[in-house]
C-alpha cells in the first residue's frame, strides 16, 4: 500500500472509488410528530441496500424541523436511487403507497427543486385511486396535491416528485487490526457523514461487510465475495491485505452530485482514521473495477487534498 498520503498516520492507498450513474428522487415525509415521520421513513427505505436485488437504493437523508417542511410539521427527507426513471417509478409508487400512506398522520411531498428536474414520477397521481372515487385534487402554488380519505382523516400527497441524475457507488474500505477496531472506525465515519445533505449510506447502519467483486464461478451470480479482502482466505487467494489486517469494512455512498459524495468520503475517512494505528486502523483503500464499471472515479488522494 502506497504511503505517500496519510491521515492521522494511517496510509491511504493511491487508488479510486468507482461509481456509476443513477437517477434519484427526494421525498419529504411529514407527520404530527417526528416519531411517526421517522417510522414511515424507516419503512419506506427498508430492503433498499443494492439495486442488484432490492430494485433501488434508499436511505434517510435528514430529519427536518417545522421550518423546513411544506406543511410546517416535523419531517424526514429520504433519497431513493434507481438505475432509470422507470425503475424509480415502480419503487416510489410501492414504497409511498405501502409505507407512507399506511403510517398514521403522514403526508408526502416531492423534495427536488423543479428547476433541477428533467423527469417526473407519479406519486399522489398514482395513489389517488386508493380513494375509491372520494379523492380530492387541489392546485396550490402551481403544484397539484391529492387528498385521500383514510381512517385517521386524510392523506395529503403531492401529485408528482422530480427525478434527477445522480451517482451511486462512492466508497472506501477500512483495513483494521480486528473486527472491533473496524466496527469502531466505521461508527466514527458514519457519525461524521450523517449530518451531510444530498447523500445516503444505503447499507445497514451505513456499513457493508460483504464487499463484492464482479463475476462468480457460479453462472447464476453476477457478483460474489471480494475474496482479496477476506481475512479467512489469506493463503488461499491472491490477497490485498497487508500483514496485521484481520478485518475490513466498507462504506458505500450514493449522492446527488460529485461534490456531495467527495465531501462525504473526505469527512468519513478523516473520522475513521482518528487515533491512527493505536485505534487499530491500518489503512484506507477503495473499491474499483479498473474503470470498467462506472465513469465517476473518486480518487482518494484528490478527495482528501
| pLDDT for res 1 | 46
Q: Considering its fold, how many domains does the chain have in total?
A: 2
The CATH number covering residue 88 comes to: 3.30.70.520
| pLDDT for res 188 | 98
Percentage of the chain exceeding pLDDT 90: 92
Beta strands 136-140; 199-200: pairing state:
unpaired
Same domain? For 129 and 174 the reply is no
Q: Is residue 29 part of a domain?
A: yes
163 φ, ψ (degrees, to nearest 5): -120, 150
Calculate mean pLDDT across residues 241-263: 98
- Cα–Cα separations (whole angstroms), residue 50 to 36, 94, 119, 212, 284: 26, 17, 23, 11, 23
Same domain? For 181 and 297 the reply is yes
Q: What confidence tens digit (pLDDT) does each residue in 153-199 have?
A: 999 999 999 999 999 999 999 999 999 999 999 999 999 999 999 99
Place of cell 399506511: 102
Percentage of the chain exceeding pLDDT 70: 97
Lowest-confidence region among 161-170, 284-293, 295-304: 284-293
Q: Is residue 1 part of a domain?
A: no
Q: Is residue 209 part of a domain?
A: yes
Q: Is the pLDDT of residue 2 over 70?
A: no
286 neighbors 171 (Cβ within 8 angstroms): yes
Same domain? For 41 and 133 the reply is yes
Same domain? For 122 and 74 the reply is yes
Provide the CA 261 distance to its chain's centre, in angstroms. Answer: 10
Q: Is residue 266 part of a domain?
A: yes
| pLDDT for res 117 | 54
Place of cell 428547476: 115
76 neighbors 102 (Cβ within 8 angstroms): no
User: What DSSP assignment string belongs to 141-207?
Assistant: TTEEEEEEEETTEEEEEESEEEEEEEEEEEEEEEEESSHHHHHHHHHHHHHHHTT-SSEE--SGGG-
Provide the CA 217 distance to its chain's centre, in angstroms. Answer: 29
**247 lies in which domain range?**
6-19+167-304
Q: What confidence tens digit (pLDDT) does each residue in 96-152 have?
A: 999 999 999 999 999 998 665 569 999 999 999 999 999 999 999 889 999 999 999
CB atoms near residue 94 (< 10 Å)? 14
Same domain? For 188 and 123 the reply is no
Confidence of residue 290 (pLDDT cuts 50, 70, 90): confident
| pLDDT for res 116 | 54
Same domain? For 26 and 160 the reply is yes
Provide the CA 282 distance to its chain's centre, in angstroms. Answer: 26
Of 106, 226, 84, 207, residue with least CA distance to 158: 106
- Boundary of a domain, candidates 164, 180, 201: 164
Using DSSP's 3-state secondary structure scheme, residue 16 falls into: strand
| Nearest-5° Cα angle at 48, 110 to 28 | 20
Decide: residue 124, CB within 10 A, 0-12 exposed, 13-18 middle, 19+ buried. Answer: buried
Rounded (10°) angle between helices 179-193 and 258-272 = 140
| pLDDT for res 291 | 84
Same domain? For 195 and 262 the reply is yes
Amino acid at each position: 500500500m502506497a504511503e505517500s498520503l496519510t491521515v492521522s498516520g494511517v496510509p491511504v492507498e493511491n487508488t479510486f472509488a468507482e461509481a456509476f450513474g443513477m437517477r434519484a428522487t427526494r421525498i419529504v415525509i411529514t407527520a404530527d410528530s417526528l416519531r411517526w415521520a421517522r417510522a414511515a421513513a424507516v419503512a419506506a427505505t427498508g430492503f433498499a441496500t443494492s439495486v442488484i436485488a432490492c430494485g433501488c437504493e434508499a436511505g434517510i437523508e435528514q430529519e427536518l424541523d417545522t421550518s423546513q417542511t411544506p406543511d410546517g410539521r416535523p419531517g424526514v427527507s429520504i433519497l431513493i436511487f434507481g438505475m432509470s426513471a422507470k425503475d424509480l417509478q415502480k419503487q416510489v409508487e410501492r414504497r409511498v403507497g405501502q409505507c407512507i400512506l399506511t403510517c398514521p398522520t403522514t403526508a408526502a411531498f416531492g423534495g427536488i427543486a423543479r428547476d433541477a428536474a428533467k423527469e417526473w414520477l407519479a406519486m399522489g397521481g398514482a395513489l389517488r385511486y386508493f380513494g375509491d372515487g372520494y379523492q380530492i385534487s387541489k392546485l396550490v402554488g402551481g403544484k397539484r396535491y391529492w387528498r385521500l380519505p383514510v381512517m385517521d382523516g386524510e392523506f395529503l400527497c403531492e401529485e408528482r416528485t422530480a427525478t434527477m441524475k445522480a451517482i451511486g457507488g462512492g466508497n472506501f474500505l477500512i483495513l483494521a487490526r480486528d473486527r472491533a477496531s473496524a466496527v469502531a472506525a466505521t461508527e466514527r465515519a458514519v457519525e461524521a457523514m450523517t449530518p451531510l445533505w444530498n447523500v445516503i449510506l444505503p447499507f445497514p447502519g451505513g456499513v457493508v461487510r460483504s464487499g463484492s467483486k464482479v463475476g462468480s464461478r457460479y453462472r447464476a451470480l453476477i457478483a460474489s465475495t471480494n475474496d482479496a479482502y477476506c481475512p479467512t482466505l489469506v493463503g488461499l487467494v491472491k490477497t490485498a491485505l497487508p500483514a496485521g489486517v484481520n478485518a475490513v469494512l466498507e462504506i458505500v455512498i450514493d449522492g446527488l452530485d460529485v461534490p456531495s459524495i467527495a465531501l462525504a468520503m473526505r469527512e468519513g475517512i478523516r473520522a475513521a482514521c482518528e487515533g491512527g494505528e493505536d485505534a487499530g486502523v491500518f489503512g484506507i483503500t477503495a473499491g474499483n473495477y479498473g474503470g470498467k464499471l462506472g465513469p465517476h472515479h473518486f480518487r482518494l488522494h484528490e478527495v482528501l487534498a
